[in-house]
A and B are shown apart, each in its own frame.
Chain A
Amino acid sequence: MNQSERIRHLIHGYLSADLTPEECDELKALLKEDNSHMDTLLAELRMDALLKEGLRELLEEDAATVPRTPVISGPIRFPYRLTAVAAALIILAAAFFLQQPDPAGIHGYQPKALTLTRALGPVMVRTGQGAWRSLAAGEQFVTGQELRLSASGGADFAMGEARLKVHPRGRLTFDRRDNDGSGRLRLLEGTFELASPDSGKTLLPLSRAGLSLTGKARIARQGNSTTVCLLQGKGQLYPGGSYSTALALNQPTTLDGTILPAAAVAPEPAPARKKKDLPVLGRLMLRDSSGRETEPMEIEQVRIHAQVHGPVALTEMELTFRNPTNRQAEGVFYYPLPAGASISRFAMYLSLIHI
């Protein structure tokens, strides 16, 4: 490594705050030795800021290709009517963040064709690296296409004799399989219902194991394991041999090549939550003249838009607050973050002025 590369390497270490004490001394000495190194450091800091802003804009531009659907709109008084919806959305946001798409395609169904039978909101489809487009009811996918589907309001698909119901915000992919002419469906996140006239039919092969389901289940993948949680109806797991085990309601079962006993992964029963403990969407607490928080400001409109990029979901929430009084108000904005989530950007507008 020559000196120019070495200085950049050390500067990068400074930017990521992971230099050793010896490297700190080395960088200090180099900066003292030559003034131009300081210009390099400042240029790197600017590059760092530029990269962050450029990447954010690129991802936002990408996300903007999906039409935005207002989830809730119209006058709503906070928090009573919103609480349940907000709780569901926040849980969903947490699920987005916790979910790891399955790069190996471990859970999949091999349909020859998939037909959209009913759309409860916009259903978007993207073929390969192409642009997102809206999908019409009755439209069918056949093999040889690599598809990414997003059903923000929920949708029903027919897969031969089976039926797949995608709940709002569900996302799935349909991978190309050239060798046998069939596609592989992968459920990335969300909640799905599978129904088949033949309840004994295996609908979702899970690696060496299989799942037969008539009802509703949540399938999640984390690390190298897949967790199946039966929410409604009946389900059987086939670990790969001839025997099977029945799924118990609301008890997640984790598959990691072999089936773990359901009891080993069953969660602690969650304590009943009081209404006031429910997570809220975000609130702007008004302050009185003494600086004491009084009441939350009325939420006029909420827009939520989520876009999945690999293992991460970029979830954008737009909250519109209205000051019903004719005087200036001051307040504090609170936003509960789900586990694993972080804020990448925050912006505030007064009327149309970005502050």
Chain B
Amino acid sequence: MEPIHQIAARENGYVRALALKLAPAPGLAEDIAQQVFVEFLAKQEQWDLTRDVRPLLATMTRHVAKRAWRERSRQLEPHMQQLADHIRQLAEDRDFTWYTDDDKQALKECLKTLPEKSSHLVRAYYYLEITTAELAAQLNMTAVAVRQALSRLRRQLRTCMEGRLSGKGSL
């Protein structure tokens, strides 16, 4: 029988992709997947690991995602909350896969090629989680300009990744 931590590692992408569809907001999929696997491992004696565990993980993911989404929604302003719920309904019917290790490797190589200023902006926003409004104040720009700069950088990174992944499949 396959050890449980190997099963967890193998199903990580499946759970994250499902979590993202059920709770389409930044950062939530990772939190949900972590909670699902903590529960999955903690109660390992209860599961029949000789059978396909995906239906079980899907049910657990739905429960955890529901809770996480409710908590996240509470923190949003009413107009953002309505939009988020609308997006959630649309997301549930879509086919979606999580990123692969090749995607991650390509992105890391692309990140290394960014100029210092762009690298600083990407790190500040995605790693340090400084909001666009805070970045705008620090950089003496408007929040819209910061958002545009980040969109541009994502596009650049995506193009770079696609170039590196050509032949291996792209994101």
Contacts and interface: CB of A to CB of B under 8 A. Distances in A.
Contact of B79 (A24, A50, A342): A24
B96 interface: yes
B5 A55 contact: no
Interface residues on B, range: 35 or more
Contacts of A19: 79-80, 83
Interface string A320-355: 000000000000000000000010100000000111
A45 B86 CA distance: 15
- The 6 A-B pairs of least Cβ separation, nearest first, read A21-B79, A24-B83, A54-B107, A55-B127, A51-B126, A353-B5
A207 B44 CA distance: 63
A41 B143 contact: no
Contact of B96 (A5, A13, A21, A42): A42
Contacts of A51: 107, 122, 126, 154, 157
Interface of A: 5, 8-9, 12-21, 24, 27-28, 31, 38-39, 41-59, 309-310, 312, 342, 344, 353-355
B47 interface: no
A52 to B, nearest CB: 5
B126 A55 contact: yes
A223 B23 CA distance: 39
A18 B132 contact: yes
A56 B30 CA distance: 14
A261 to B, nearest CB: 30
B59 interface: no
Contacts of A312: 128
Contacts of B20: 42, 45-46, 49
Contacts of B41: 353, 355
Given A14-B87, A54-B111, A42 B21 contact: yes
A18 B108 contact: no
A235 to B, nearest CB: 33
Interface in B78-127: 79-80, 82-84, 86-87, 90-91, 94, 96, 98-99, 103-104, 107-108, 111-112, 120, 122-123, 126-127
A24 B129 CA distance: 22
A16 B147 contact: yes
A24 B80 contact: yes
Given A18-B131, A47-B158, A342-B129, A39 B151 contact: no
Nearest to B120: A310
Contacts of B27: 48-49, 52
